[in-house]
Structure 1
């Protein structure tokens, strides 16, 4: 009887060990993509669109965030799983080591399957060609003067667009029906931009979804999350409304297969500037200015202060309100979230970690230099 029981346990464990194979396959795929960038690009252009449409189709049919509740269910399952095996270890006498082994193998097997799904749906995209390879722009070294010129240009545009939003100084309040409007127009922005850059074209854009647990996202310092297992762009609806359209287009850029954070930020800015709607345009400009002025403050604080002082009072108030909003959530949760995000990005071919977001300034400067060269030759 005891031998039969041991045989059943071994057979059960052998089946679980089979689920480790997908993780090994995913690791090999990632390493191959890292060393064969042409293959990774072909995968992103040919395989990813088909897989992403298949995975994202059903979630795209509903307005709620499927991924939000999927994460909640997975966390609850893991909690129950751990409680179950802790109890098994406590009540078992001669088989405690076996129960620990079974529990650990189960967790490894689940992690293996999740890693495989992540890799085939979006992980390979981290190794694809840069978005600039599809544009007229070239990333080079830029001077402090060019950076200051970029900041001043963005500051001027911010003032003009902000004036179109009216005299009301407070843009923190969001009307209940605003989200759907901006979600639809964020997709329209990407569609319009794809006419210039066909690599962004998709047969299925899953409209951004509002997150019910947005307060928790704010505490974690998160504006939006692209969830590769449902192809959803999840948006924090608790943050200032003028930052929401840019967050939407940023996550949609990931949905289009561009996973590098600086490229997603640049695509977000380009997408927002396709629109005549002042709030959407303002959101994209605000994103670009925020990163650019931060970069200038590091190399020429006096010039950065002069540019910020020249902003209209309403733009300055928006900047203060945005800073105040996020500063109130600084703490243990946001620090842990930042460290986890940093580790995640570094593990996925973004060696600068969370500082990758700031690298979009180089892409903005590339666009500025290109436009200036076109102007100088009369084109």
Structure 2
């Protein structure tokens, strides 16, 4: 009887021992994601507006001192670990159970770190509720009116952007985020946003990836292949992620609002040009589409064509398609139902904002106290 009792204790130690602690932490984190997804107001107050700003400040205070991406170095380290462990297994320097334990715990650790360091923000309140912007009903006539105004803004803001003072643009974007922080419901500064070039920009350019956010070291990263006219908006988009905005449509909306309300013409034009692409894509099936396109000035059309040709030249179709599928699966896993189509959801947010006079009044009061 005592022997059975000892064996039971040994089995429990095996299940709950140090070897499997990563898996138990991952299970706890998974259950927590389900809880936070069910109570977005709790996520907003406890994590997004409570814990996360301190996490961002702590991590970015370290990563800011490195001119290269620590996240990219981290990913390379994982690849090296994988190759070394496979080699050790083939050479029989590692047993199967040790190999499995290593990788199960490593993947579990990645899962836990991702959510605790940033990923829980996926379950915060939706943008309309968070910013108290009323949702508008789909209306083709109003859509065309907003699109026409956007075209006018792009035409008026046009400026030839061949070279760029990156440090100045960074400062302008930060100034705008700080000014709009009360409206955007962010706890500025919530960290240090030093923009870094993507280490493997050439490879990522093949997938037409303009930038991304590194959650493990709180890093904003942009492609070395970005055209100057694209840089301000893409930078503002990635900074939105660092500020705890996970959804791509929401990050697009934040970036547009920040750049469009900057006193700098380059930021204004970058915002209008970027947003116009999504609106024109939505308008393509409309009868009024040809007339709307005619309203766009030739210099603006020329920039559209230049951007398109630039990325088509860099793009690798197979890599782009594979990256899109991975991104789509990643977003849907984090309960972004639209997946990769979420990027174009910025059109809905802009329509909601444009038709909400109360929200517009609050913003104008903030900008012109």
Q: TM-score category by the smaller chain?
A: 0.7 to 0.9
**2: CA distance, partners of 1:81 / 1:54:** 32
State the SS of the aligned residue for 1:233: strand
Contact 2:20 2:101 in 1 (8 A): yes
The TM-score with structure 1 as length reference comes to 0.85
- Over residues 5-36 of structure 1, what are the superposed CA-to-partner deviations in whole Å (9 max), with x where a residue is unaligned? xx9xx98x954322222211211111111122
Q: What CA deviation, in whole Å up to 9, does each residue of 1:180-214 have, x standing for no partner?
A: 33223222221122143343522423222222421
User: Using a 3 Å threshold, how does the CA distance of structure 1 residues 121 and 35 change in structure 2: closer, same or farther?
Assistant: same
Matching of residues 81-120 of structure 1 within 5 Å: 81-88=85-92, 99-120=95-116
Report the Cα offset of residue 349 of structure 1.
Answer: 1.3
Matched, 1:17 2:25: no
Match of 2:41 in 1: 38
Deviates more, 1:148-157 or 1:346-355: 148-157
Counterpart check, 1:336 vs 2:336: no
Does the 8 A contact of 2:41 with 2:124 survive in 1? yes
Select the residue among 276, 289, 292 that pairs with 1:304. Answer: 289
After TM superposition, list the pairs within 5 Å mapping 1:1-379 onto structure 2. Answer: 15-42=18-45, 43-88=47-92, 99-162=95-158, 165-166=159-160, 171=161, 173-174=162-163, 178-297=165-284, 299-300=285-286, 302-328=287-313, 329-371=315-357
Does the CA contact (< 8 Å) of 2:131 and 2:185 recur in 1?
no
Question: Conserved in 1, the CA contact under 8 Å of 2:230 and 2:274?
Answer: yes
TM-score where L is the length of structure 2: 0.87
Structure 2 unaligned runs (5+)? 1-9
Deviation for aligned residue 1:331 = 1.1
Q: Once the two structures are superposed, what CA deviation does each residue of 1:209-228 show, in whole Å capped at 9, x if it has no partner?
A: 22242121211221111111
* C-alpha distance 114-373 of structure 1, shift in aligned 2 (>3 A): closer
Structure 1 residue 259: Cα displacement: 0.7
3-state SS of the aligned residue for 1:363? helix
- Within 2, Cα distance between the matches of 1:354 and 1:81? 34
3-state SS in 2 of match to 1:202: coil
- Asked if structure 2 preserves the Cα contact closer than 8 Å seen for 1:237 and 1:244, the reply is no
1:209·1:233 contact (CA, 8 Å) conserved in 2?
yes
Distance 2:91 2:234 in 1: 44
- Alpha-carbon RMSD across the aligned residues, in angstroms, is 2.6
Q: For the structure 1 residues 140 and 85, does the alpha-carbon distance in structure 2 shift closer, same or farther, using more than 3 Å as the test?
A: farther
* Counterparts of 1:106 and 1:271, CA distance in 2: 44
* 32 and 54 in structure 1: CA distance in 2 versus 1, 3 angstrom threshold: same
Deviation at residue 242 of structure 1 after TM alignment: 1.1
User: How far apart are the structure 2 equivalents of 1:317 and 1:37?
Assistant: 43
Number of the residue aligned with 1:95: none
Gaps of 5+ in 1: 1-6, 93-97
- Is this contact kept in 2: 1:192–1:274, CA < 8 A? no
Q: How many correspondences in the alignment?
A: 349
Provide the rounded CA distance (Å) in 1 between the counterparts of 2:128 and 2:101. Answer: 43
Alpha-carbon distance in 1 for matches of 2:347, 2:202 = 29
Aligned partners of 2:180, 2:30: CA distance in 1, in Å?
Answer: 34
SS in 1 for 2:230: helix
| Worse-matched range after superposition: 29-38 or 110-119 | 29-38
